[in-house]
Structure 1
Amino acid sequence: MSEAMAMVGLFWIAQGDVYVGAKPSGLSPGVRLTPDGVTALGDGGSGLHLWEDVHGLTVTDVPLRSLMRQVGAVKDLALGTVANLALPGSGGPVEEAPAMMTVRVTSSGVDHDLSAYVAAANGYASTEVELSQALLSRLTEGAATMATTLAAMSEWGRTAEAGTPRRQERERLLREWAA
């Protein structure tokens, strides 16, 4: 049985696990939000930042969805298809690594920059980015708020069956979780 996962704003929710950006695999960098704190994953990760010490949580370098970004993705797909048809043994175009975002964790007056892969190939919708940033800020408001919010996100991830919901539903979820 495959793992149920969905993207809601800047968050990747797989079963009950909540990540900022894409869920990492192997030694790939990533950021997981747990009831204990913000965890840097992968090679070079700097461990756990406990919620009680976290006073700020933001994401920078977020690629925004744009018409040009979508046209570029379609163009790359078309060129790859043509290359595969013209040169069947070529193995296709060389894939670029996904873009990276920076998750900035402020704890004890010090900023820690963690890396996470972008999960949205064509970038993120600006409304979802704004709502996600508000939600991240809300997580730093205290233990009760953080626990309730993460529990709601995790519960949704465990019960979501259809994968990534449509834009309106994603925005509704982000607003609900940030309230």
Structure 2
Amino acid sequence: MAMVGLFWIAEGDVYVGAKPTGMAPGVRLTAEGVVALGDGQDGLYLWEDVNALTVSDVPVKTLMRQVGVFTEVALDTVMNLAAPVGPTRTGEAPPLMTLSVGSADGEHELKAYVAAAVGYSPTEVGLSRTLLSRLTEGAATMATTLAAMSEWGRTWEGGSPRVSQREALLREWLA
């Protein structure tokens, strides 16, 4: 499993945002279409009906966001040392981002958890948005792009690549 831009690739499966578990919301991209997963959202939006994919509510990595995450972790650690029994913020769910699926019958908003703890790099966000847009350009483009992403996921071993590698992969899939 690895994060590349706004995508989570687990073996041959491609998700927008984090791969959902249980009834958590999520979005999977398949050869057939966009699949809404989780409690409160379900459905399959076939590629032939999808004319736009846009994503919003994406946290962008900034120095302030990184400092904020570090501060929260440090504060939780101190609080747990001082009073080991009690609630902590570490159990909070990650933020949600929204994938809007445009089709002839309107726009459908799907939710997915963010996979990056401190946000995504601005370059990764831009490349990912362009890639999502490209998936709606036609069956050949979509099939080739998703096949390349899936194949990479099946052959990749290890965790998420470094930022520069992720950006290079996104550019390769856009070529």
Give 1:49's match in structure 2, choosing from 45, 52, 59. 45
CA distance in 2 between counterparts of 1:131 and 1:140 reads: 15
Structure 2, unpaired ranges of 5+: none
Contact 2:73 2:90 in 1 (8 A): no
2:29 counterpart residue number? 33
Give 1:90's match in structure 2, choosing from 68, 78, 86. 86
The DSSP-based 3-state class of the residue aligned with 1:89 is coil
Q: How many residues align?
A: 175
Structure 1, unpaired ranges of 5+: none
Q: How much is the aligned-residue C-alpha RMSD, in angstroms? A: 1.2
CA distance in 2 between counterparts of 1:32 and 1:92 reads: 31
1:77 counterpart residue number? 73
Equivalent residues in 2 for 1:116-131 (5 A)? 116-131=112-127
Report whether the alignment pairs 1:158 with 2:167: no
Contact 1:40 1:47 in 2 (8 A): yes
Contact 1:7 1:164 in 2 (8 A): yes
**1:85, distance to aligned residue in structure 2 (A):** 1.2
Amino acid paired to 1:166:
R
2:140 counterpart residue number? 144
Amino acid paired to 2:141:
T
Q: TM-score, normalised by structure 1?
A: 0.94
1:10 counterpart residue number? 6
The DSSP-based 3-state class of the residue aligned with 1:111 is strand
Q: TM-score, normalised by structure 2?
A: 0.96
2:131 counterpart residue number? 135
